[in-house]
Amino acid sequence: MKILLPVDGSDCSLRAVDHLITHASWFRDVPEIHLLHVQSPIPIGRVQAHVGKETLHAYYQEEGQEHLAAAQKKLDAAGRSHMTHIHVGQPAEVIGRVASELGCDLIVMGTHGRGAVAGLIMGSIASRVLHQVPCPVLLVK
């Protein structure tokens, strides 16, 4: 079983990590865990005139690693091996694409638990993921 675990460093995403660790016994075989962080792109425009591509890539990697650190620490402490992925783009779209590319059987992700009105106004990454992916999604509040 391949599980995609998108995290953004928030308490909500860390609750999803805890949930997966706590309920790992649900799975017959040890799941293959893919920890994902999606970094929002910096508006390029004139930035590229002053910052090289390598510098920008290093920035995305460094920032992504900071957001993954707490989740990695929890998984390591629980003895759960995992692979990390850092991507740049719109979170819902990237989560859907990565889940498809990896052939994931399940996505486990946290939700901020905003009400329906707030979700309509601000949008919900979890909601967009639900509509884009062919595999089941477990939302953890």
pLDDT score for 101: 97
pLDDT score for 118: 43
Number of independent structural domains in the chain? 1
pLDDT score for 79: 95
pLDDT tens digits for 66-93?
999 999 999 999 999 999 999 999 999 9
Contacts of 74 (CB under 8 A, 6+ apart): 14, 17, 18, 21
Contact status, residue 47 vs residue 135, Cβ threshold 8 Å? no
Q: Name the token pair of 36.
A: 């994902």
Domain range spanning residue 47?
A: 2-140
Q: Name the token pair of 138.
A: 């477990």
> How many residues in total does the chain contain?
141
CATH code, domain carrying 82: 3.40.50.620
Cα–Cα distance measured from residue 43 to residue 88, given in angstroms and rounded to the nearest whole number: 12
pLDDT score for 122: 41
Contact status, residue 59 vs residue 27, Cβ threshold 8 Å? no
pLDDT score for 51: 74
Taking residue 2's Cβ as centre, other Cβ atoms within 10 Å add up to: 16
Cα–Cα distance measured from residue 18 to residue 6, given in angstroms and rounded to the nearest whole number: 13
